[in-house]
A and B are shown apart, each in its own frame.
Chain A
């Protein structure tokens, strides 16, 4: 069965530190990859997505992610975090397999940035 793993469940950083959140998926075919963010008290919203082309994708608020097909990974990065990046981050994937139109979600990573 297809699955998504987020290795870090809780991350605590100081402002200006660099961030990398891991995401791996299990599916050998074509995938579409997403990172969503849920700020405290706000809607879940899209940070960035990859479906084809340049494997390094840039999203909102200075976030980027790199798709490495050989490693089945789509890690999220930010060079310098801010207090306002405190949120929960979810990695998700859809595949082109059959009639599956569902997003498969990771369990999420809770990020706390200390000022």
Chain B
């Protein structure tokens, strides 16, 4: 059963702590993405990766970091430098690099920083 998994579903952290969100896909997709979803603001792109060992900043990369050491994995670290980290985080992947290929989404992780 192919898909994208994100864990955990809910995550709580104390202010000042770094936290890493997991994203794994078994779709053999080349590109992977991290978005942040806040009420009324749609989806905002944090980072994306088109191939292994390469990634680019999205529109709101400050305070976040990523790695892409394996094709199937694209973890996101929310650092203490992120000023407003409480949000719903979505991971997505896309087959190939053609612009008309759709993105597939994971179930999301809701991060709450206390």
Contacts and interface: CB of A to CB of B under 8 A. Distances in A.
Contacts of A96: 99
Interface in B27-73: 31, 40-45, 48, 50, 58
Interface size class of chain B, counting residues whose CB lies under 8 Å from the partner chain: 20 to 34
Interface string A4-33: 000001000000000000000000000010
Size bracket, chain A contacts: 20 to 34
Given A44-B90, A108-B42, A103 B107 contact: no
B42 A107 contact: yes
Given A90-B42, A95-B99, A107-B42, A101 B106 contact: no
Interface of A: 9, 32, 34, 42-46, 49, 51-52, 90, 94-96, 101-103, 105-108
Interface of B: 31, 40-45, 48, 50, 58, 90, 92, 97, 99-100, 102-103, 105-108
